Structure 1
Amino acid sequence: MGVELPIHDRVGAIRILFSMAFWTFLALSSAVLFLGALLLWALTRPFDANGRVLHLYSCFWAQLYFYVNPMWHLRVEGRERLPWKGAAVLVANHESLGDILVLFGLYRPFKWVSKAENFKLPLIGWNMRLNRYVPLIRGDRASIIQMMAGCRHWLARGVPILMFPEGTRSHDGQVKAFKDGAFTLSIQERCPLIPVVLTGTARTMPKHGLVLQQAVHARVRVLEPIDPAGFAGDVHALRDHVRDLIIREKARMDAEG
């Protein structure tokens, strides 16, 4: 007779197999979907200068991994508060790599601000380049200046941008200190700032790990837009106000289960 593994080891083995299947499917599907993105980019570029169609296709690409996985669930609340057109700065808390997949579920036009190394990833990074998202090298002053200029370019064209003001993923799910960039943009460009609160995403792809959890119940809640004019140019006051809003709303969502 074979030796039966303890329940903990069996669960761990199942998670590893599930993770291997996920990453394999992601790689194979990305190869096919990138070809679709390349074709769509070529067809729509003449009449869609801001790349809205390609971005919405990329939203479907990311959401596909929720659609096909019966153990992953996502609920988006307040999507109607996001603009189809017009400048806005979206800011979200950051729990895991899974936040990227989740926030594409907003299905609204925006340009990501993302680490420069992500643009070098095969297929997914190439698609980010096609979408003309905004790269950033953390801690590099020249890159930060270039990133801010890139964001201003898109805001001037009436395209929202989305940033993680924590700058990096939280290791414990707690909201970290916010950096000033997003709030400076909102005040200087006189455009609304829209907080987006995530919960449950830390269990999708934990930091420094590729082993996925078996079941995920992620939620996104879009809060009311904030007019920066009420903060009289005080970047820090706007930053701290938004962080407090996100912390309180996240606690409320966690308590709701």
Structure 2
Amino acid sequence: MVPPPEAAVKEAAGKQEEEGEWVSVLISWVRIVVCFVLMMLTTLIWAVIMVLLLPWPYQRIRQGNIYGHVTGKIMMSILGNPIKIEGAEYSNERAIYISNHASPIDIFLIMWLTPTGTVGIAKKEIIYYPLFGQLYVLANHLRIDRSNPTAAIRSMKEAANAVVKNNLSLIVFPEGTRSKNGRLLPFKKGFVHLAMQTGMPIIPMVLTGTHRAWRKGSLHVRPVPLTVTYLPPIRTDDWTRDKIEDYVELVRDLYVDNLPLSQRPTSDQVTL
């Protein structure tokens, strides 16, 4: 029995769409493999540079940032997502930069777009990540001990002292982990403590679209447009300890106001 013309057209369109999806996935896999290989190459090159610069800690930080700028930009060029950057006039100030986190792409963007003289803060176990973890330590970035509250507080104070002493900027993910669905998670208080200990302003970086471009658990990077928005600096030099919860809510509310509906928290997500 010959199917009706409409049914035949729909079936052909479905097959064509399925074939197109497989082609898109295959291209994505190739891009990810190329990204991985190039990242390993640049990591090895800069690891050698870092070893040669062992006596000069600040130069290692600077070289770590240059590594991030080069590698991050290369990664984003290979992945091919259109990127719009807003508020770039705030992108080169000495500050605590914070960012929402919902995709591996966020790491590439942060590596590329934070200014030279910026250090990250990660858990101390990052040293065990092959190549990247060792480069992180060689680049003199900061690590904190989260094994217990006392150790975490001590680590945060040491990080703040290092930032002030060396006139550095910081990059922090205030959610503390990656969102599984792109929606903003509750903020931890660590970035507020760091702001009060250093007196530096906070510059929010709002990333939109990355969760749709590279979904958690997927190897398919979609050509979704991305936006990176730097918000104006938030002064913190007059912040006091009795209002920590208020400051966390203040900053998180800025993200809620500037994120699309699909990335805003649901009603059951509360600030911690």
Both proteins in one fold, TM over 0.5: yes
How far apart are 1:142 and its partner, in Å? 5.3
Query: Does 1:58 pair with 2:65?
Result: no
Partner of 2:121: 113
Deviation at 1:12, TM superposition (A): 4.2
Partner of 1:29: 38
Write out aligned runs for 1:139-218 (5 A).
140-141=148-149, 144-156=152-164, 157-207=166-216, 209-218=217-226
Residue aligned with 1:113, SS:
strand
Q: SS where residue 241 of structure 1 aligns?
A: helix
- Name the Cα RMSD after superposition: 2.9
Instruction: Report the Cα offset of residue 135 of structure 1.
Output: 3.2
What is the distance in 1 between the residues matched to 2:250 and 2:140?
30
1:71-117 per-position Cα deviation (integer Å, ceiling 9, x unaligned): 31222222331345x4x221111111211011123140311123445
Pair 1:221-2:229 in alignment: yes
Amino acid at match of 1:158: N
> Would the alpha carbon gap of residues 74 and 137 (structure 1) be closer, same or farther in structure 2, given more than 3 Å must change?
farther
Q: Sort the Cα spacing of 1:97 and 1:46 in 2 relative to 1 into closer, same or farther, 3 A.
A: same
Structure 1 stretch displaced more, 233-242 or 23-32: 23-32
**TM-score, with length taken from structure 1:** 0.83
Query: Deviation at 1:205?
Result: 2.6
Larger radius of gyration: 2
- Which range moves more in the overlay, 91-100 or 23-32? 23-32
- Runs of 5+ consecutive residues of structure 1 not aligned to the other structure: none
Q: TM-score, normalised by structure 2?
A: 0.79
User: Equivalents in 1 of 2:129, 2:19: separation in Å?
Assistant: 33
1:228–1:238: 8 Å Cα contact kept in structure 2? no
Q: CA deviation at 1:39?
A: 3.2
Number of aligned pairs?
Answer: 248
Assess if the C-alpha contact under 8 Å between 1:154 and 1:160 holds in 2. Answer: no
Q: Is the 8 A contact 1:59 1:104 kept in 2?
A: yes
SS of the aligned residue for 1:206 comes to coil
Matched to 1:92, the amino acid is S
Q: 2:111 aligns with which of 92, 96, 104?
A: 104
Pick which of 45-54 and 221-230 moved more.
45-54
Q: Structure 2: how far apart are the matches of 1:221 and 1:252?
A: 16
The answer to whether the 8 A contact 1:113-1:135 is kept is yes
Q: Deviations over 1:146-202 (max 9, x none)?
A: 541342133212111111111111122221111100011112322211111110111
Distance 1:238 1:76 in 2: 26
**Residue among 67, 70, 77 paired with 2:86:** 77
Matches within 5 A, 1:122-133: 122-133=130-141
Unaligned 5+ runs, structure 2: 1-11, 264-272
Correspondent of 2:142 among 131, 134, 137: 134
Equivalent position SS for 1:90: strand
Write out per-residue CA displacement over residues 99-142 of structure 1, whole angstroms, 9 at most, x where no aligned residue: 10111231403111234454422232222222222335667435
Percent identity of the aligned residues?
24
Distance 1:115 1:211, change over 3 A: farther
User: Structure 1 residues 230, 107: CA separation in 2 closer, same or farther (over 3 Å shift)?
Assistant: closer
Partner of 1:67: 77
Letter of the 2:141 counterpart: Y
**Aligned counterpart in structure 1 of residue 250 of structure 2, from 241, 244, 250:** 241
In structure 2, what is the Cα distance between the partners aligned to 1:83 and 1:236? 28
Equivalent residues of 1:119, 1:125 under 8 A apart: yes
